[in-house]
A = this chain, B = another copy of it.
Amino acid sequence: MINFTVGPVQSSQTVLNIGAEQVPYFRTNEFSEIMLENEALMKKFTNAKEDARVVFMTGSGTASMEASIVNFFDERDKILVINGGSFGQRFVDLCELYQLNYTQIKLEVGQALTSEQLAQYDNQGFTGFLVNIHETSTGVHYDIDIISEFCQKNNIFLVVDAISSFLADKIDISGSKIDVMITGSQKALACPPGVSVIVLSKKAVDRLEDYPSKCMYLNLKSALKNGERGQTPFTPAVGILRQIHARLKEIEANGGVDVEIARVKELAEDFRNKIKDLPFEITSESMSNAVTPLHPTTCSAYEIFLTLKDEYGIWVCPNGGELADKIMRVGHIGALSCKDNDILIAALKDLQSRGII
């Protein structure tokens, strides 16, 4: 199978080789060194400051989204949420669950966010801002600059879910004054799913003192305390953390984060050029390099997903719910090449010649 989904994605041979190894015991200096190096490389690749910290959470991206709510907000806060799809909705659902005072900016499928929209919320006492910088469900990449400017002007604590954007699009925690950034192991990090990663600015680390965590498993304060010696409060997904280590070192050896982002960008542009003649519309006003969201104009998106899977050995990424028939997504993250794009395009042309699309 060739995997063009947005996760889990294809891993490099180096990462797969570690998957074949026995998982070592981890309450050792040897494992601590790996974790401390993971923390340093995550900070480097996000341009976080020296006093930033990183937590590796064994769990999906949602675990880290919830950790970013339970550890940083309570009834004292007033939160602005960008809701442009199912992951924006997840932030809304978390605010509801924890009975937080929030306002959502609801965006249509594919719609970008504008500074004019944000300006309506100036000087209204907001203390928190939640955004999925790449709303993976619809493939919309919001403009971090206008968000950052709005948050700085209004002195707002900024949480950025960059789960599918980190390593595909530029992220600059220091430059954009991001307080909390989240990512996951199975997106552009291209490791198996099971670990999500939270980068915390000094401001975020300090804020933990003021907000007692309401959840033991998602407690960032105890995670940071254990992390000082390269350990975790509970048994983590040791194997995946070793794979993340190998992958971060691989990116570093290949020239660093900018080279990796350029590689993903090239793959995305190559695909977007090649898809032009086929009966698809791109449904996003503002795309991440990670994903191209496509609306097939002649048939059901979900049917294309099934046919490519069952007859061509290709996974593209289906959508759920109301968008299932309307939109499918083609990912450009993980160990893919332009030759893989050619195989997918050939398969789509074959579907066209068969009268299926």
Contacts and interface: CB of A to CB of B under 8 A. Distances in A.
Interface stretch (A21-29, A271-279, A348-356): A21-29
Contacts of A192: 23, 237-240
A234 B19 CA distance: 22
A3 B19 CA distance: 17
Contact of A23 (B8, B21, B23): B8
A162 to B, nearest CB: 16
B20 A235 contact: no
A7 B184 CA distance: 24
A26 B320 CA distance: 13
Contact of A16 (B1, B21, B233, B235): B21
A222 B34 CA distance: 35
Given A58-B194, A63-B59, A215-B66, A237 B240 contact: yes
Contacts of A238: 8, 192-193
A285 interface: no
A143 to B, nearest CB: 26
A216 B26 contact: no
Given A7-B235, A235-B8, A239-B19, A28 B62 contact: no
Given A193-B238, A237-B237, A20 B25 contact: no
A217 interface: yes
A17 interface: yes
Contacts of A347: none
A164 B233 CA distance: 18
A344 interface: no
A23 B186 contact: yes
Interface in A168-223: 184, 186, 192-195, 214-218
A315 interface: yes
A23 B234 CA distance: 25
Given A27-B318, A60-B217, A97-B216, 6 more contacts: A11-B22, A19-B20, A66-B215, A97-B215, A186-B235, A194-B237
Name the 9 nearest CB pairs between A and B, nearest first. Answer: A194-B237, A19-B19, A20-B20, A60-B234, A8-B23, A192-B239, A194-B194, A62-B234, A25-B315
